[in-house]
Chain A
Amino acid sequence: ETGVTQTPRHLVMGMTNKKSLKCEQHLGHNAMYWYKQSAKKPLELMFVYSLEERVENNSVPSRFSPECPNSSHLFLHLHTLQPEDSALYLCASSQDPSGANTGELFFGEGSRLTVL
C-alpha cells in the first residue's frame, strides 16, 4: 500500500459504544492530522501531531481521543459520541513545510461515521 490508508471506511455506532479509527501513512512524512468533514461546512482541523507529539488541539470534545504511537500511525478513539458527530473523518499527513516543500497534505479516503 502507498499513500494514506484509513480503516474502517464505514462505521456505525451507538452513543454508548467505544470504537477507534485508524490511519497509516507510507510516505515517510513527519506530521499527521485528523480533519472532520460535515455537509456544508469547511474541513475542520481537529488534531495535529508532529514527530508523534500533539501540537494542536482545536478545542475538540474529550469524547474524541487521538493517539500517535509512531510517525506512521494515527488513531482516533471514539467514546460516548453524539448523533451530531456523524461525519467523514479524514486523516492526512505532510512533510516539513520548508524550502521548496510546501507541506502539501496528503489525505486518506476517510472513515464515514454514523452515530445512532
Chain B
Amino acid sequence: GENVEQHPSTLSVQEGDSAVIKCTYSDSASNYFPWYKQELGKRPQLIIDIRSNVGEKKDQRIAVTLNKTAKHFSLHITETQPEDSAVYFCAASAHYGGATNKLIFGTGTLLAVQP
C-alpha cells in the first residue's frame, strides 16, 4: 500500500522568511496530493492540492511542486507570517473511481514562525 514520508518534523523560521516542507510517496499510481493545515486545537483544513498531470501550482504565498519521476512533492510558503504557525500534513491518494478518497497522510510538520 501507499506510504508517505514527510520532513522535517519541526521547522522554525523568522517572520518573512520562506518555509519548505517535503514529502515522498511510494505508490506510483497516486495521482492526487493535498496539503492540510491544522492549527492548535482545530480541524485539519485543505490549503492547496495538486494532481499528477501538473508539476506546480501556486495560490498567493503558498505553492506546491510535484516530481512524479522521483515521487516527491513539496510545499513552499513565502513571506511567512505568525498566523502560518501550525502543523502541516501532506497526503497522497490514487483515485480509481468511486465516491471515496482514500488519503494516506504524512506524519506532519510543526511550523513555528517567529515574529
Could you give, for residues 72-115 of chain B, a 1 whenever the CB lies within 8 Å of some chain A CB and a 0 otherwise? Answer: 00000000000000000101010101111111111110000000
What is the CA–CA distance of A55 and B9 in the complex, to the nearest angstrom?
32
Q: Is the CB of B100 within 8 A of A48?
A: yes
Most buried by A among B43, B89, B97: B43
Residues in B with CB closer than 8 Å to A30 are 99
Q: Does A109 contact B (CB under 8 A)?
A: yes
Cβ-defined partner of B107 (8 Å) among A4, A40, A45, A109: A40
Q: Given A31-B99, A97-B95, is A107 in contact with B104 using a C-beta cutoff of 8 Å? A: no
Q: Is the CB of A41 within 8 A of B107?
A: yes
**A contacts with B: majority SS:** loop
Residues in B with CB closer than 8 Å to A56 are 100, 102
Q: Is the CB of B107 within 8 A of A42?
A: yes
Q: Is the CB of A43 within 8 A of B44?
A: yes
Interface residues on B, range: 20 to 34
What is the CA–CA distance of A48 and B98 in the complex, to the nearest angstrom?
12
Cβ-defined partner of B102 (8 Å) among A48, A90, A102, A108: A48
Q: Is the CB of B100 within 8 A of A43?
A: no
| Smallest CB separation, A49 vs chain B (Å) | 8
Q: Is the CB of A109 within 8 A of B43?
A: yes
| Smallest CB separation, A76 vs chain B (Å) | 16
Those of A45-63 within 8 Å (CB) of chain B: 45, 48, 50-51, 55-56
| Smallest CB separation, A23 vs chain B (Å) | 12
Besides A43-B105, A98-B97, A105-B34, 17 more A-B contacts (Cβ < 8 Å) are A4-B43, A42-B6, A50-B100, A56-B100, A56-B102, A94-B99, A94-B100, A96-B98, A96-B99, A97-B32, A102-B32, A102-B34, A103-B100, A104-B34, A105-B36, A105-B101, A108-B43
Which chain B residues have a beta carbon within 8 Å of chain A's beta carbons? 4, 6, 9, 32, 34, 36, 42-46, 49, 51, 89, 91, 93, 95, 97-108
Which chain A residues have a beta carbon within 8 Å of chain B's beta carbons? 4, 30-31, 33, 40-43, 45, 48, 50-51, 55-56, 90, 94-98, 102-105, 107-110
